[in-house]
Structure 1
Amino acid sequence: MSASATLILWGHALAALVFGGLTIDRARRHVAGWPRRGLIVALALTALWALAVAGIEPRDFTTRLAESARNIAWLAVLLTWIGRERVGGWTVTALGAVAIAVAISSAILAAVAAVPIPAADVAAVLQARLLCRMLGTVASLILVHHLCIAAPRAQPLGIALVMIWGVDLASYATGYAMGGWPVQLVAVRGFSAAAAAALLAVALKRGDREFTLSRGGALRIVAVAALAAYLGATILVADAASHWAGAYGRAAQTAIVLGAATALITLLSTPWLRAWGRVMIAKHLFTYRYDYRTEWQRVTTALGGSGGDGAPIGCRAIRAMADMIDSPGGVLLLREGDTLDVAASWNWADGEGAGSALVGHLATTTRIVSLDAVRAGTATPGDIAAAQGWPAEREDAWAIVPLFHGAMLVGAIVLARPPVERPLDWEDFDLLRVAGRQAASYLAEDRARHALAEAERFDEFNRRFAFILHDLKNLVSGLTLVARNAERHADNPAFRADMVATLQDSAARMNALLARLASHHHSADEPASVVDVGTLATRIAERRRAQHAIVVSGTALALAQPRALEQLLEHLCQNAIEATGGSAPVAIEVAMDSEGVGIDVVDRGCGMTASFVREQLFRPFASSKPGGFGIGAYEARQLAEAMGGRVEVTSRVGEGTRFRVVLPAAPAMEAAA
């Protein structure tokens, strides 16, 4: 047995097995009614036909009779669906063509079997029969097409019949052109029938749930079918040329194959042809032009920047809108007051803005403006008046899509004309309107993000200025105390020396504040080191001796940032001095314990309530002192936490307050050094 005969046997045997299993499965369900029984009959006859081809010669009378019975059974199932779904259009014409073709083909088959016909005339009679079979198959495929459009639930049945009858049609056409059936096509018929049976099995398993073929899948199936038809036509022409060209047959076949391949590559690389093909397929194969689920996913992916091209949001918005309607480019106009300014462009040169007329019209009507209708004068008067100027004068501008975020007009996108000329319809408007709102939300979010970043920069400057202003207030308070005490102790040489030291320290600290306030100043993180806290506290007490008495006790070595720790203690001492008000000294107590180095700043002032300590003390701009900024305690805690420590507070109204700062102790080896 040859390889082709083996493929024919196994392909049709597999088809017979699957169709037979489907027949038994459906018969065991005890279904009632002609439609379901008709399906069982069609499945059974298809199984018998496949079994006949596998066991007998494919061109035998019995095989051809089984094929005719199979086709009649499936036509009956189609008629049942058509009657139930009330499919109109060309149904009557297609049914008439099928009936005539089946009648003629059956008559020819019966005549060949019953009446002796000369051998010279048998070939012509069989050719006429093949022509009738082709006519009937084409009409049957037209019926399947109308049924699938009108009834999505019938799509599995339609696809299965296309898989069976499509290969049949290719076999009939090849047999008619070449005078005989290639064995390769006969083998393909079996495997195609087996695949159709598998599809029907999956669809029947799903029950009455609706079966839908995605638009992308349908386009791929049509593309593969068209490519197969193109290759088949090329093979037929090349085979015919080998017979007509005689001695030059080989050269003619080579020329035909090379020419067909070149033509195919040229056609596939033409943007206009691809766009025209999509339009024609969408127009004649689908109820709606767009697959909205796929389009929405594509728009979301493009706007979110998942493509990885790194383009700014403006270009992504244009491209997302343009790709939906096959537009080759566009320009984004963002609203600035009463005008639209160019913000981005994609495959578009020499963009211009638009005036208040277009802004007001879009904001009021929310309409998508078709510029072809504006140029033709068939648009509304409002559209014509608003689109005057460069949008209407530029021939490649096709539509103006407004972008709304809520009820606010964010901008508009002007889209270029697609390669295939077509008018915008309601489906384009609906899709562009929804996608425009999605793009507007991304653009508004991008604007809000930039505004937030700018606000954060101002907030950082304001925070730095608030801290500096608080430090400046502390310096002013200290200088005020020095000036007040100078009236009483001006004759004391020790006081004058302290006063000079205080003025020098205040001047140095003011210069440091000015440096911190400068916009170009960037403070670097100070490295942590071993700090003698007792010595540091004593230096602060001596510096403030002209303001208020500070008593320091104890010492310890902490691992901290020296300047940050000094600033922290300055804040706490200033708060304690202001809270004391009288002559009672402020105490700084330094000690080492199991938690680390503890620094207590204690005053005998007015104290604070528990609710104030809990809710407002460490919040910026909340203060219990008249004229206070509420920054000192907040910044002190920030500084302590930055050094790995913490700040604790104990306060009673009328008794005073204890601020306790806990910092990490210096390691033993570094402390010894």
Structure 2
Amino acid sequence: MEGAALVASASHGIGAVAFAAFSLLLLLGRRVQGQHRLLLTACALTATWSAATALHDYFVLGVAVAQVARVLETFRTAAWLVFLMLLLQPSGLPAKRLLAVVALLSMTQLATGELAPVTIVLGYNASQPADPALIATIASSLLLAVVGILLVEQLYRCTPTRERWGIKFACLAFGTLFAYDFYLYSDALLFRRVEPHLWAGRGVVDALCVPLLAITAARNPGWKLELFISRKMMLRSAGLLACAVYLMAMAAGGWYLRSVGGAWGPVMQLICLCGAGLILAGVLFSGAARARLRVFISKHFYQGHFDYRNEWCRFTQVLSEVGPSPGERAIQAVAALVESPAGALWIRRNGAFEPAASWNVPAQLATETTGSAFCRLLEGRQWIVVAGHLLRHAEAPYPAWLHGIPGLWLVVPLMLHGQLFGFIALTGPRTPVALNWEVFDVLRLAGSQAASCLAHGELAERLSVARQFESFNRMTTFVVHDLKNLLSQHSLLLANAQRHKDNPAFQKDMLATLEHSVQKMTAMLHRLSRGDHAAERSPHALADVLRRAISGYATAQPCPTLDITDLTLFALVDGQRLERTVAHLLQNAMEATPPDGHITVSLRRLDESAVIEVRDTGAGMSEAFMRERLFRPFETTKPAGMGIGVYESREYIRELGGRFDVDSRPGFGSTFRIVLPLELAAEKVPAMA
């Protein structure tokens, strides 16, 4: 044992010299203030404790010196914990409450240490009867080490990435200190004795941390780190610590049952551990338990009730995610701020506030008029109405239909541009929540944000309906335009019938024109019944499309002529709609050209495109008219025109990926040119003659 005592004494002596030297550097190198003062205190206590332990291990000076060493160890551990908390304190963590926690743990360790100093524990082994004082001493030391590890983890995780350069070596040093203590005392708790070799190496391990602390002190002259402790991480750390303490208590209880239970001992231990696991799982999956823990942490460890950044990120994410209706998402987002599990939403519609959504409550049916005293109170004062408190205001009686919501707690107004857009009724929270000015302000702001999102959704829905009507009206306009063209053809046919009714050739052309008109009207009715304006595209021979388009004007004056230089040109189009587009251009040319003029429809190839031209020798158009009015819908110079034929033609050609050009001069006629991409796979199929 003398050799082990010598090693332990030398090890702790090295630790004492290292921390004493570092303390001297801190004392002489700069003015001691702020974090440096506490750092110097912690280093001095560590050096003193190491020296006292080294002396006792070598000289075995008795129980009194062992008690002093134990007290110094407690103060040394508490000083490092307080120093870590001081580094974390700028994030808003109240120092007084944290210090109270550390003080409580330290007093517990001191109380147990008076009964069983660590140096006495060195002689304790499993063959001796269990001593509660010794077990309490080891358990309290282990718990302080766990708290230190959690604080180191928080310090590193909550430091911004760009500032970890200045803190990483300190985290490594602190982590080594507390991790070694955790290993030492967990081994002691497991085997009911402190391992002499682990105890002997403790001083050297502590001394190895001094260079890391020195580097960190040099990188951080003021030890002033702008940190932020995440409430989420605090919640998880607190939950982890609570689970660890709970499992340790259950393990101790199981060990006790096994020791005193006789034959039933192992069975009772197994039942105890399984029951403890089930209870722990139930608590971990309990929303109410998590809500109580969140409220407890916010109330006792933070100055502000809300972590505004995380709350606002969560609030925005809930409003924008895909899932339930926008109204239900708005209820969930607002309810989560005050731990409410259910609610209902009313929105202003048609002169009244109508139920729009519900979450975990029965669907509401009653409405509230916009001019009621209750709505005037919400809009005029923007109050968060607490259930039962509104009855004191005689000018705004509590609406009777709101009693239909079980457990009604709050009514949150949704304000938009200074007016009441709606309101949300929330049920009681999972855990008691203190209603103060901060909670009310956050609810008002969240209500305004939710109102903006809901108003956007309402506007989008109205716009969708308006677009459906617009699409229907546009389709109707094009149908009317097609009917006008057919009417013009029939009027021309009827006018020529008076002069050529006995001509067999005219009769044949008249029948062909009527047949063509019937086909066009049948296709028009088919599209109208389907409710769409466009048909599926397929390869069509452009020569056949032009022949069908020009056949309706066989009896017209002047009669259009067809000039096709390539019969193998195919394009991916809706044949009927392209035919109607060419017919629009022919009708315009017919109306602008005198009977002795000329109208020519031609088809030719240009590289990988097909070019369709409709040329006339009519009145032509000015450059200003083509630039400002030609392609504008409902702009026309014709007494009976609608002004959408050329506009529709250009838009359809653009849909096909083509180009629509116009050349015109007043008095010299016009040329409308359509350029379409060819469908190469169908080029070898000849068009019908």
- Normalising by structure 1, we get a TM-score of 0.73
C-alpha contact (below 8 Å) 2:86/2:95 kept by paired residues: no
Q: Which residue of 2 aligns with 1:320?
A: 333
- AA at the equivalent of 2:467: E
Q: Shift of the alpha carbon at 1:576?
A: 0.8
C-alpha contact (below 8 Å) 1:333/1:344 kept by paired residues: yes
Verify: 1:333 aligned to 2:333, yes or no.
no
Q: Which residue of 2 aligns with 1:425?
A: 436
Q: Which residue of 2 aligns with 1:116?
A: none
Deviations, residues 288-312 of structure 1 (Å, cap 9, x unaligned)? 2222222222222222226xxx323
Instruction: Say if 1:392 and 1:658 are closer, same or farther in 2 by CA, change over 3 A.
Output: same
Distance in 1 of aligned mates of 2:659 and 2:100: 91
Q: 1:32-431 residue pairs with structure 2 within 5 A?
A: 32-35=31-34, 36-37=36-37, 39-46=39-46, 49=49, 65=68, 68-69=71-72, 207-237=223-253, 257=273, 260-261=276-277, 263-265=279-281, 267-268=283-284, 271-305=287-321, 310-356=323-369, 357=372, 358-374=374-390, 377=391, 380-381=393-394, 385=397, 387-392=398-403, 394-431=405-442
Instruction: Say if 1:593 and 1:502 are closer, same or farther in 2 by CA, change over 3 A.
Output: same
Distance in 2 of aligned mates of 1:92 and 1:533: 93
Verify: 1:585 aligned to 2:598, yes or no.
yes
Instruction: Say if 1:54 and 1:241 are closer, same or farther in 2 by CA, change over 3 A.
Output: farther
SS in 2 for 1:440: helix
Q: Shift of the alpha carbon at 1:540?
A: 1.4
Deviations, residues 190-233 of structure 1 (Å, cap 9, x unaligned)? 79989999899879956423223211222222223323333343
Distance in 1 of aligned mates of 2:346 and 2:658: 53
Instruction: Say if 1:210 and 1:336 are closer, same or farther in 2 by CA, change over 3 A.
Output: same
Q: Shift of the alpha carbon at 1:426?
A: 2.4
Q: 1:647-662 residue pairs with structure 2 within 5 A?
A: 647-662=660-675
Q: Which residue of 2 aligns with 1:119?
A: none
Q: Which residue of 2 aligns with 1:629?
A: 642
Instruction: Say if 1:162 and 1:597 are closer, same or farther in 2 by CA, change over 3 A.
Output: closer
Verify: 1:671 aligned to 2:686, yes or no.
yes
Distance in 2 of aligned mates of 1:592 and 1:100: 98
Q: Which residue of 2 aligns with 1:598?
A: 611
Distance in 2 of aligned mates of 1:507 and 1:162: 90
Instruction: Say if 1:616 and 1:30 are closer, same or farther in 2 by CA, change over 3 A.
Output: farther
Distance in 1 of aligned mates of 2:367 and 2:507: 73
Distance in 2 of aligned mates of 1:442 and 1:501: 60
Pick aligned residue for 1:516 from 519, 522, 527: 527
C-alpha contact (below 8 Å) 1:339/1:353 kept by paired residues: no
C-alpha contact (below 8 Å) 1:45/1:69 kept by paired residues: yes
C-alpha contact (below 8 Å) 1:495/1:546 kept by paired residues: no
- AA at the equivalent of 2:338: I
The worse-fitting range, judged by mean Cα deviation, of 655-664 and 490-499 is: 490-499
Deviations, residues 57-90 of structure 1 (Å, cap 9, x unaligned)? 59986676455446657888979989x99x9989
C-alpha contact (below 8 Å) 2:584/2:646 kept by paired residues: yes
Distance in 2 of aligned mates of 1:585 and 1:227: 95
Distance in 2 of aligned mates of 1:215 and 1:203: 28
Unmatched 5+ stretches in structure 2: 121-131, 160-166
Distance in 1 of aligned mates of 2:52 and 2:590: 110
Verify: 1:550 aligned to 2:560, yes or no.
yes
Q: Shift of the alpha carbon at 1:30?
A: 2.3
Distance in 2 of aligned mates of 1:347 and 1:626: 63
Unmatched 5+ stretches in structure 1: 114-125
Q: Shift of the alpha carbon at 1:347?
A: 1.5
- AA at the equivalent of 1:452: L
Percent pairwise identity: 31
Deviations, residues 362-401 of structure 1 (Å, cap 9, x unaligned)? 3333322211433xx45x445x52x321324644111122
Q: Shift of the alpha carbon at 1:574?
A: 0.6
Q: Which residue of 2 aligns with 1:470?
A: 481
Verify: 1:568 aligned to 2:584, yes or no.
no
Distance in 1 of aligned mates of 2:104 and 2:545: 110
- Normalising by structure 2, we get a TM-score of 0.72
Q: Which residue of 1 aligns with 2:162?
A: none
SS in 2 for 1:418: coil
Q: Shift of the alpha carbon at 1:108?
A: 11
Distance in 2 of aligned mates of 1:266 and 1:237: 20
Q: Shift of the alpha carbon at 1:335?
A: 2.2
Deviations, residues 621-645 of structure 1 (Å, cap 9, x unaligned)? 3334444322222222344345554
Q: Shift of the alpha carbon at 1:553?
A: 3.5
The worse-fitting range, judged by mean Cα deviation, of 640-649 and 60-69 is: 60-69
Distance in 1 of aligned mates of 2:588 and 2:17: 91
C-alpha contact (below 8 Å) 1:581/1:605 kept by paired residues: yes
Instruction: Say if 1:268 and 1:26 are closer, same or farther in 2 by CA, change over 3 A.
Output: farther
SS in 1 for 2:671: strand
Distance in 1 of aligned mates of 2:557 and 2:208: 98
Q: Which residue of 1 aligns with 2:129?
A: none
Q: Which residue of 2 aligns with 1:121?
A: none
Distance in 2 of aligned mates of 1:21 and 1:467: 95
Distance in 2 of aligned mates of 1:598 and 1:90: 85
Distance in 2 of aligned mates of 1:644 and 1:96: 79
C-alpha contact (below 8 Å) 1:174/1:236 kept by paired residues: no
Distance in 2 of aligned mates of 1:554 and 1:165: 93
Distance in 2 of aligned mates of 1:601 and 1:397: 74
Q: Shift of the alpha carbon at 1:452?
A: 2.5
